[in-house]
Structure 1
Amino acid sequence: MNCDRLAALLTCHNRKLLTLACLQALFHQELKGKLTIDVYLVDDGSTDDTAEAVAQSYPQVKILKGDGSLFWNGGTRLAFAEAIKDDYDYYLWLNNDTLLYPNALSHLLETFDHLRDQGEHRAIVAGSTCDPQTKAPTYGGVMRRSRWRPLKFDLLEPGESPQRCDTINGNCVLIPRAVVQVVGNLEPAFTHYAGDWDYGLRAQRQGCTLWVAPGYVGTCSQNYKPGSEADESVALGEGLKKIGQPKGLPVKEQVLHPFWEWKIFAQRHGGLLWPLYWLIPYRRLLGISLIGGSEKKAE
């Protein structure tokens, strides 16, 4: 009997306990068929002994070193490149703060098998996650809000059967070999955000399809919560500095991506009106700054 091979790709910067918990859930999956799992973990300059703890608890994990500048896209891209050399049947993007349910991998693979039987041989399958406390959906597949907002995406709540989506959050994604042979690796132009969305949109252009698996495959807290302290008024100069950093600037309902990375994304996926869509998100930063400045003058 043939044994399928899967490469799980993770990247981390500190968060030792979360990383260990993620790996524990991954290595305790209840698998229905023959499957071997190899884990590629990029330790991106951790200072809390994450790599040492992983090596001690899970010596089978292949640990790759970063210098702290890779972030999610760069780290996952490095792990992906290393795994592609061994030509796996499947690749799994997995955030190190995602805790998989025991049947998560079997569920993703069964969803892919079902889609393949329907003729979808190049199907990417996103696994949806929910908040561990509230059970509210946090990550998974996303849909464009409208044809007039091609760069604005809304999370698609999973249903009882696989659903098409426009692109994906990278927290838990199953990618078969047939997709990788066409699309390849993540785009190096992105550092932290937008690389997962870009991959899904590029995959669609190259004849692949994107799907959300039924139900939830695990839990993952939302890294950015609208209404948090990060939403408070920010000076324009400080805001511009922050959106030049890899993680951008959280404001209200979104995160402002690094300015030039967002330009690449808009140019690639925004159509003829991409300059407008590129600049729209930053109007909020200017508005917040002006309002904040006016309030300070009135005090």
Structure 2
Amino acid sequence: MISVVIPVHNRKAFTEQCLACLSAQTYRNFQAIVVDDGSSDGTAEMIQEKFPETIVLTGDGSLWWTEATNWGIRYALQHQDRSEANFVLTLNDDTKMEPDYLQSLLNAYDRFQPCLVGSVSVNSDEPNKLEFCGTVCELYLAGGRHMAEDYNFDYQELVRRTDHVVSDSLPGRGTLIPMEVFEKIGLFDSKKYIHYMSDIDFSVRAKKAGYPLIVDVKSVVQEFVSASGIQVERMITTKQFIESFTSIKSPTNLKVRYNFAIDHSKTKLVYFCFDVGRICAGFFLRKMRLMKPL
């Protein structure tokens, strides 16, 4: 059984599209668990009308991504049938998938088990534009990188060159997790990582516990990139960039980056300083390129 956990908040159209993709899956032994964290746009009513088989857990708007995901995982843990293999698939609502998506994740798990299986992410507006296929995490001086660079951000090139990638971390946007992993390392850390980086922290902890992190090239989610929170690599103002250091909706929140440095890096504060320096340098280099005359 795959328990697909989807945290949502006031994005009814995205939620509907995501659930429609799940309804079309060829693999049928799954349940969709939507954690509706205080939506006021009719999300719950839409789910009841169009996807009545979906399990809906209702929050009050204070859960954010991490604790909302934990709610779904706890439900799955409490209701699992231990006579069969059980998994949690963490998924965001701003994604769409082909009908063979769940089956391809399971095929990859069967090949590499025990492991976590992550999804390739491509841009929904440009389906060949590779957004994610794995990371290299350098835990001394924050010199890691996204492995999409190795394939020129081209999904077809990735397909030509390999069928899987071994990663140092995985995002919550389409990761298949054997239920035993939660029993071994616990849930996502909602105290240190309220909204961003709890997925990275969790996958790094899973890798330390002996579970390889595999990105399956055939398991693809199309990501609505513009629907994400504050993204410093996109076009934002200097004011927005500064605000990103304290925003819960930002992956560059300094408290979150500090917690990750302390929890996982080899050099702690040195890593944190280099990490923040890298973020700032990248932002201002992009600004300078935009200011150059054509």
- For Structure 1 versus Structure 2, the TM-score category normalised by the shorter chain is 0.7 to 0.9
Aligned residue identity for 1:30: T
Q: For the residues of structure 2 that align with 1:56 and 1:199, how far apart are their CA atoms? A: 34
What do the CA deviations read for 1:258-289 (whole angstroms, capped 9, x no partner)?
x2222211101111x21122233444659989
Query: Percent identity at matched positions?
Result: 24
Please name the residue that 1:23 is paired with. Answer: 19
Which among 166, 182, 191 is matched to residue 164 of structure 1? 166
Structure 1 residues 93-132: aligned runs within 5 Å: 93-116=90-113, 121=114, 123-132=115-124
Aligned residue identity for 1:90: F
Please name the residue that 2:76 is paired with. Answer: 83
Which structure 1 residue ranges, 5 or more long, are not aligned?
A: 249-254, 293-299
Is the 1:170–1:196 Cα contact (8 Å) retained in structure 2? yes
Q: For the residues of structure 2 that align with 1:105 and 1:288, how far apart are their CA atoms? A: 37
Which structure 2 residue ranges, 5 or more long, are not aligned?
A: 152-157, 288-294
Q: For the residues of structure 2 that align with 1:113 and 1:191, how far apart are their CA atoms? A: 32
Query: TM-score, normalised on structure 1?
Result: 0.80
Deviation at 1:218, TM superposition (A): 2.6
SS in 1 for 2:120: strand
Q: For the residues of structure 2 that align with 1:175 and 1:288, how far apart are their CA atoms? A: 34
Is the 1:256–1:281 Cα contact (8 Å) retained in structure 2? no
Deviation at 1:153, TM superposition (A): 3.8
Is the 1:141–1:169 Cα contact (8 Å) retained in structure 2? no
- Asked whether 1:196 is paired with 2:199, we answer yes
Please name the residue that 2:274 is paired with. Answer: 280
Please name the residue that 1:233 is paired with. Answer: 238
SS in 1 for 2:49: helix
SS in 1 for 2:74: helix
How many residues align? The count is 265
Greater radius of gyration (CA):
1
Which among 215, 219, 224 is matched to residue 221 of structure 1? 224
Which among 217, 234, 252 is matched to residue 256 of structure 1? 252
Please name the residue that 1:251 is paired with. Answer: none
- Asked whether 1:267 is paired with 2:262, we answer yes
Deviation at 1:150, TM superposition (A): 4.2
Deviation at 1:152, TM superposition (A): 3.6
Q: 1:113 to 1:70 in 2, by over 3 A?
A: same
Q: For the residues of structure 2 that align with 1:191 and 1:155, how far apart are their CA atoms? A: 26
Q: For the residues of structure 1 that align with 2:197 and 2:143, how far apart are their CA atoms? A: 10
Q: 1:60 to 1:200 in 2, by over 3 A?
A: same
Please name the residue that 1:295 is paired with. Answer: none
Deviation at 1:147, TM superposition (A): 5.5
Aligned residue identity for 2:185: V
Q: For the residues of structure 2 that align with 1:110 and 1:286, how far apart are their CA atoms? A: 41
Deviation at 1:140, TM superposition (A): 4.5
Q: For the residues of structure 1 that align with 2:105 and 2:125, how far apart are their CA atoms? A: 23
Q: 1:45 to 1:155 in 2, by over 3 A?
A: farther
Is the 1:234–1:288 Cα contact (8 Å) retained in structure 2? no
Query: TM-score, normalised on structure 2?
Result: 0.81
Q: 1:96 to 1:155 in 2, by over 3 A?
A: farther
